[in-house]
Amino acid sequence: MLIVYTVLGFTVLEHVAHRRGHSATDAAIDAAVALLLALLAVRTLHRRPTAAEGHNGMASRMLDAPTISFWGVGAIAMLVNFSTLVLYLAALHQIAHSSVDLAEKVIVVIVVMVITLLPVLGPLLLVGVLGHTAHPVLARLNAFVGGHARQITAGVEILFCLLLVFKAVGELS
């Protein structure tokens, strides 16, 4: 899914007006993304708990599922993961309009993709390195993240919101 978003991002964002140096257009884009992240953070912190938050029904149904099912669930999860998509598309906007050559842009996009996929790649690497002994570590990590998912998500959204606000203000000065 990230590859699809990357292609769409580069084709759409390539046509957004952009000037080198300070730009009111870039400031407006940064401010709009910051506003969207702030709204997502408020929604994250104020939405009602769902039945799935107390019990992970999807995980229990996926225990015996074929591998292709995991790809499908992951693709759907990425489609509705708005905070990640907003941040990812904002990064693509910056990369698309940077002054570096195409090879360097490709390297940066790959790095951004790896960073975006760290929540998926981290546990896989941990299992690859530690084998079955990774289970207790992953169980504790799952319990912590599951218990604090809203706070973690809202914190990341607010952090990037503030960074984009400062960047937008810097673009106008």
pLDDT at 139 exceeding the cut of 80? yes
**Between 7 and 42, whose confidence is greater?**
42
pTM of the model: 0.66
Each residue of 45-82: pLDDT tens digit?
A: 887 765 555 555 656 665 666 766 766 777 777 777 77
Q: Which sequence spans correspond to the domains of the chain?
A: 2-172
Each residue of 116-135: pLDDT tens digit?
A: 888 878 888 888 898 889 88
Cα distance between residue 37 and residue 160, in whole Å: 8
In this prediction, residue 159 carries a pLDDT of 92
